[in-house]
Amino acid sequence: MIFGIFFASWRFTEIVTLIPIMGMLSYFVNLYVTANQLTPTYILLLFIVSVLALAWALFTVFSYRNNTRFIGLVDLAFVGALIAGVYQLRFVTNSDCVAVVAGNSSVNVDLGAFGGGTLTSVRLGVDKTCAMLKACFALGIMNCVFFVVTGLMALMHKGEEKVVVHRRRGSSHASGRHRSHSGSHRSRRSSHSHSRTYV
């Protein structure tokens, strides 16, 4: 029960962080398709991995009881795929997406004997493409960690199930031996009493 709560909460975290990656990268894919150009590898790879990882997370959010070892192995495989996608997008770490640029309005200031000057307004210029790719890069790294956690949780949960099943089998085996022993004892009694009647 506790495993199910923790696993589902981590799965929901993965889903919530994978949806923005898929949405932002699908925007870029659509731009390249509309322009009839090939989508770059650094966008396409992480987009495909995020779509597959999101579908997998939605499929296994409540069906983890069926085969936890398989789920754990697939989660760890997605870790490798996400690392490959993030590695292709690594160039955005050196990009500066925000810059201070001069605005359109200016004000003349007269300070009398001290002179005067012109004050120009400034504003922050945000490069939308750079900011979106940087957000995808950060969310991709976060999902690498999330899938490691869920993969290890699933593999460890499988080991606990094995111990429980092994103990149950051992107890049923012991009770079966006890039953067979008592059954043979009863059969000996009945055969002994049967021989008594004939004697």
Domain ranges for the chain, please list them.
2-167
**103 three-class SS:** strand
Q: Which two tokens stand for residue 157?
A: 């949960």
Q: How far apart are CA 2 and CA 156, in angstroms?
A: 13
- Helix or strand holding residue 24 (H, E): helix 2-34
For 8-62, the pLDDT digits (tens) are 899 999 999 999 999 999 999 999 999 999 999 999 999 999 999 999 999 998 8
Instruction: Tell me which long-range contacts 76-82 makes (C-beta under 8 A, separation of at least 24).
Output: 76/147, 76/148, 76/151, 78/49, 78/52, 78/53, 78/147, 78/151, 79/144, 79/147, 79/148, 79/151, 81/49, 81/52, 81/53, 82/46, 82/49, 82/53, 82/140, 82/143, 82/144, 82/147
Q: Strand 98-110 and strand 116-126: pairing?
A: antiparallel
Among residues 143, 117, 110, the alpha carbon closest in space to that of 25 is found at: 143
Report pLDDT for 93: 87
pTM: 0.67
Predicted confidence band of residue 73 (pLDDT cuts 50, 70, 90): very high
Query: Across all residues in the chain, what is the average pLDDT?
Result: 78
Residue 146 scores a pLDDT above 60: yes
